[in-house]
Amino acid sequence: MKKVVRDGMVGVLVSPGFGGGFSTWGYPLEAIFDPHLIYLIETRKEDEILEYCETKWPDQYSDGVENLIVRWIPEGSEFVIQEYDGAESLMLKTDFDWITA
């Protein structure tokens, strides 16, 4: 799976806006790392983002696409993308206080 890595940080796509999630509403795992999609978002090519997603992943619900942002996390970090009412947030494993039984 291709990823964008800069200075030890990996670009991860999340959709923080309410209404529809991105990866949490069906887009495949590789979509959150997609280099071309990250490029489109960083260069603000809004008119191409939805078209790209609907062409590459035609069977996915695209409501969360217009809200996508790039979050940069340390390479090798474990994380989850959580969703509430369509709004996604990225949480690193180190953000949680784990309890050992």
1-59 confidence digits (pLDDT tens):
899 999 999 999 999 988 888 888 889 999 999 999 999 999 999 889 999 999 999 99
- Is the CB of residue 88 less than 8 Å from the CB of residue 18? no
User: What pLDDT was estimated at residue 31?
Assistant: 95
- What global pTM score does this model have? 0.90
User: What pLDDT was estimated at residue 73?
Assistant: 96
**Spatial distance between the Cα atoms of 76 and 62, rounded to a whole number of angstroms:** 28
**Spatial distance between the Cα atoms of 71 and 61, rounded to a whole number of angstroms:** 21
Q: Which two tokens stand for residue 73?
A: 């996390």
- Is the CB of residue 54 less than 8 Å from the CB of residue 48? no
Place of tokens 């992943």: 57
Instruction: DSSP letter for 52, please.
Output: H
